C-alpha cells in the first residue's frame, strides 16, 4: 500500500510543502516572500496589482488581494496557471535547500494537498480532487532526489541526546549508496555566521563503546564532544565506517594480524584491503542538510581535510585532536603518522 502524506496549513506537520510556507524566492532583482505571493501575482498584467501582491504581508493577504482584483485576471490565466505553479514550486525548492532535503526525505510517499477549498490543486477534502499541487511536488521531489547533494543521504528524524557534556540534538540519516545509518549530533545554534566546530568521527565500536586502548578513537570522541560544548555550538558527525571502512569482523582479523607483528596498514593490506577504505563524499548531504558551508575541523588526518574541501566545504581551520596516547597504542599512532600522514606534535608521539 502506498503511504500518503497530507499537508495543508504551513504551521502543521509537512507545512513546508504548502505554498503558504515562508520560503523567499529571488527572481531577477525581486524577492517573493512565498510561492503563493508569486503565483497570485502572475494572474495580473497590471503592474500596480502585482506590486500590491508582492508587498502583501502574508500569503493569506496575497491570496485575498487576488480575489479582490478578480475582474482584472488575464484572459489566458487558466491555460498558463499550471506551468506558473510548476515553475515557482521548482524554484522554491531549488532556492530553499533545507525544504528540499525534507521533500526528498518523503521518499516515494504520495503527497496530497488536503484542501476542502480546492479540488484542482488539492484533493477537495474528500479525496476526489485532482491534487495537481501534490503531483507537482512529487515531480520536483523525483528531480532533486537525483541531484547533488540530495542524492547522498536522506534525513529520517531527530531527537534530544543528553550527554555528560550537554544536550545535543541527534539527527539520523540513511546513506543511499550503502544503506548505512549515520548521525549528526548538533549542539547549540549553528546559524550564527561563524564556521561550525565539527568532527567527522568514524565508528570504532571497540574504542568508542568498549573502552579499547589499542587506538585513540574513544579518547578523541570524548574530547571532540567536550570541545563542541565548550565552544557553544558545533556538530559531531558519527560515521558508520567501522574499521576504516572494512567492518568490525575484518577489523578483528586485522587486530589478530597486528597481535602477530603487522602494523595497522600491513594488516589491512594482508586482508586484501587498502589501508583506508573510507569515502567521505556522502557527508556533503548531511552538511548541506544542516546548512553548513564553513567549518573548523577537529582532526589530525589530512585526508579528511581534503575530502571536505573536495565536497565544497570551506575549512577555516584544522583543530588538532591529539588524545589518548598510551602504551597499547603507541606503535599504532606512530604508524598513523609515518604511513597514513596523520599530523601529530613530536611531543605527543615521542
Ligand X SMILES: Nc1nc(O)c(N)c(N[C@@H]2O[C@H](COP(=O)(O)O)[C@@H](O)[C@H]2O)n1
Residue 245 beta carbon to ligand X: minimum distance, rounded to whole angstroms: 7
In the block, residue with C-alpha cell 573502552: 211
Residue 308 beta carbon to ligand X: minimum distance, rounded to whole angstroms: 13
CB nearer to ligand X: give 100 or 202.
202
Residues from 285 through 314 that contact ligand X (CB under 6 A): 301
| In contact, 37 and 29? CB cutoff 8 Å | no
Q: How far is CA 53 from the centre of its chain?
A: 33
Residue 60 beta carbon to Zn ion: minimum distance, rounded to whole angstroms: 55
CB nearer to ligand X: give 96 or 268.
268
Q: How far is CA 96 from the centre of its chain?
A: 13
Among 81, 223, 253, 278, which one carries the catalytic annotation? Answer: 278
DSSP H helical ranges for 55-167 = 59-68, 77-95, 97-104, 132-144
Q: List, as one string, the DSSP characters of 222-282.
A: HHHHHHHHHHS-EEEEEE--GGGGT-HHHHHHHHHHHHTT--HHHHHHHTT--S-----TT
Site string (186-205) toward ligand X, x via CB under 6 A: ----------------xxx-
- Which residues are near Zn ion by CB under 5 A? 204, 207, 215, 217
Residue 244 beta carbon to ligand X: minimum distance, rounded to whole angstroms: 4
Q: With binding defined as CB under 6 A, does residue 264 bind ligand X? A: yes
Residue 252 beta carbon to ligand X: minimum distance, rounded to whole angstroms: 10
How buried is residue 129: exposed, middle or buried, by Cβ count under 10 Å (0-12/13-18/19+)? buried
Query: Residue 243, by phi and psi: left (phi above 0), alpha (psi -120 to 50) or beta?
Result: left
| In contact, 239 and 283? CB cutoff 8 Å | yes
Residues from 241 through 260 that contact ligand X (CB under 6 A): 241-244, 246, 251, 254, 258
Residue 208 beta carbon to Zn ion: minimum distance, rounded to whole angstroms: 7
Backbone angles phi, psi at 83, to 5 degrees: -70, -30
In this structure, the dihedral spanned by the alpha carbons of residues 206, 207, 210 and 214, taken in order and rounded to 10 degrees, is 80
Whether 276 is a known active-site residue: answer: yes
Sign of CA dihedral 102, 108, 114, 115: positive
Helix then strand then coil, % of the chain, to nearest 5 = 40, 20, 40
Q: With binding defined as CB under 6 A, does residue 17 bind ligand X? A: no
306 contacts: CB under 8 Å, gap ≥ 6? none
Which one of Zn ion, ligand X, none is in contact with 243 (Cβ closer than 5 to 8 A by kind)? ligand X
CB nearer to ligand X: give 41 or 298.
298
CB nearer to Zn ion: give 217 or 290.
217
Using DSSP's 3-state secondary structure scheme, residue 153 falls into strand
Binding-site residue set for Zn(2+) = 204, 215, 217
Binding-site residue set = 199-204, 215, 217, 220, 242-244, 264, 299, 304
CB nearer to ligand X: give 290 or 298.
298
Size of the site for ligand X (CB under 6 A): 16
Whether 278 is a known active-site residue: answer: yes
The only residue of 268, 288, 322, 325 in contact with ligand X, by rule CB under 6 A: 268
Which one of Zn ion, ligand X, none is in contact with 96 (Cβ closer than 5 to 8 A by kind)? none
Among 276, 279, 318, 345, which one carries the catalytic annotation? Answer: 276
CB nearer to Zn ion: give 20 or 237.
237
Which chain residues interact with ligand X by CB under 6 A? 202-204, 215, 217, 241-244, 246, 251, 254, 258, 264, 268, 301
Amino acid at each position: 500500500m502506498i503511504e500518503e502524506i497530507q499537508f495543508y496549513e504551513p504551521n502543521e506537520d509537512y507545512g513546508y510543502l504548502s505554498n503558504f510556507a515562508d520560503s523567499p524566492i529571488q527572481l531577477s532583482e525581486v524577492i517573493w516572500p512565498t510561492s503563493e505571493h508569486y503565483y497570485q501575482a502572475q494572474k495580473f498584467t497590471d503592474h500596480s496589482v502585482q506590486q500590491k501582491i508582492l508587498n502583501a504581508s502574508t500569503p493569506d493577504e496575497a491570496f485575498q488581494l487576488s480575489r479582490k482584483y478578480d475582474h482584472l485576471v488575464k484572459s489566458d490565466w487558466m491555460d498558463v496557471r499550471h506551468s506558473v505553479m510548476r515553475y515557482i514550486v521548482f524554484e522554491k525548492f531549488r532556492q530553499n535547500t533545507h525544504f528540499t532535503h525534507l521533500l526528498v526525505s518523503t521518499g516515494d510517499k504520495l503527497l496530497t494537498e488536503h484542501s476542502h477549498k480546492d479540488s484542482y490543486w488539492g484533493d477537495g477534502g474528500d479525496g476526489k480532487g485532482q491534487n495537481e499541487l501534490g503531483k507537482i511536488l512529487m515531480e520536483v521531489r523525483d528531480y532533486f532526489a537525483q541531484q547533488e547533494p540530495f542524492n547522498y543521504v536522506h534525513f529520517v528524524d531527530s531527537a534530544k541526546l543528553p550527554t555528560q557534556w550537554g544536550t545535543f540534538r541527534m539527527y539520523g540519516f540513511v546513506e543511499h549508496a550503502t544503506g548505512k545509518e549515520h548521525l549528526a549530533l548538533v549542539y547549540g545554534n549553528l546559524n550564527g555566521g561563524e564556521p561550525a566546530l565539527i568532527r567527522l568521527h568514524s565508528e570504532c565500536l571497540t574504542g568508542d563503546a568498549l573502552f579499547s586502548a589499542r587506538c585513540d578513537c574513544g579518547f578523541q570522541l570524548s574530547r571532540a564532544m567536550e570541545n563542541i560544548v565548550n565552544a557553544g555550538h558545533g556538530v559531531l558527525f558519527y560515521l558508520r565506517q567501522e574499521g576504516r571502512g572494512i567492518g568490525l569482523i575484518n577489523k578483528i582479523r586485522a587486530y589478530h594480524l597486528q597481535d602477530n607483528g603487522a602494523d595497522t596498514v600491513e594488516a589491512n593490506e594482508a586482508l586484501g584491503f587498502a589501508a583506508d577504505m573510507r569515502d567521505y563524499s556522502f557527508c556533503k548531504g548531511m552538511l548541506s542538510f544542516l546548512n553548513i558551508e564553513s567549518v573548523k575541523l577537529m582532526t589530525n588526518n589530512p585526508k579528511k581535510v581534503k575530502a571536505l574541501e573536495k565536497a565544497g566545504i570551506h575549512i577555516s581551520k584544522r583543530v588538532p585532536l591529539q588524545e589518548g596516547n598510551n602504551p597499547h597504542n603507541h606503535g599504532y599512532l606512530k604508524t598513523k603518522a609515518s604511513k597514513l600522514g596523520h599530523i601529530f606534535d613530536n611531543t605527543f608521539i615521542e
